[in-house]
Amino acid sequence: MKLSDLKIIVTGAAGGMGRHFAVRLVEAGAQVAIGDVNEAGLAETVSLAKGPGKIHQKKLNVADEADGGAFVAWAEGAMGGLNGLINNAGILRDGLLVKKDKETGAVKKLTKEQWDAVIGVNLTGATLMVRDTVALMVEKGYKPGVVVNMSSVARHGNRGQSNYTAAKSALAANTVTWAREFASYGVRVGAVAPGMVETPMTQGMNPKARDALVAAIPVGRIGLPEDLWVAVKFVLECDYFNGRTIDVDGGLAM
């Protein structure tokens, strides 16, 4: 699919990778509907998006089913159609499932609130965005269509990220499921799994943990949003790519 033919939703577009994807899409001539809970960040993304395409912004909480459904309907109206989704919104609430304090012997557990928050945004919210976006495509006969799920190399398992790993591995598995389910409607589904990428989310990591991870990356550096854009662009443009996840991690093995 040509990027200039896209009328596409990008979630989590108030910063980081989502912002970068939206800016690149507008540069390529696409129409883009961006959503995030951070309205100030959305406005900044709009100010940075220059090119022949068009950008539309609206507050979006993907963890709220009604809000997500309303956003999809709004996006289709704002763009005069809908044929794509970059499922990028995500949060971190890291913690070991069980941790014993070395000094006191006290046992601390990952809280249900930590679990629910990550699953609510990164899995349930992401799934509902796919459901509602593709349902509208099918109802209105918009095809071909494409969905890009943002998974993570944490899908292979990562210490201290039980909630995040569960969500991102499920998204990668359901990329196959949805590719098979939506094929008859002319909708492809692919996924991109970032490793360490320079975003506000990773900048907020524990410095020692961040440095250790960067040191383990064979290419010798942290990833940049542009590295991930190259992979996302491939999924969008290659009409023969379907039902697979691309790890973009510099060779990192978690």
Positions marked active-site: 164
Joined tokens for residue 113 = 């609130």
Of 8, 177, 25, 188, the closest CA to residue 80 belongs to 8
C-alpha–C-alpha distance, residues 67 and 124, integer Å: 13
Of 137, 165, 145, 132, the closest CA to residue 60 belongs to 132
C-alpha–C-alpha distance, residues 213 and 222, integer Å: 9
| Count of Cβ atoms closer than 10 Å to residue 164 Cβ | 23
105-112, long-range: CB < 8 A, 24+ apart: 110/162, 110/163
| Cβ contact 45:22 at 8 Å | yes
The residues with which 58 forms a beta bridge, in sequence order, are 35
How big is the CA angle at 192 (ends 21 and 252), to the nearest 5 degrees?
110
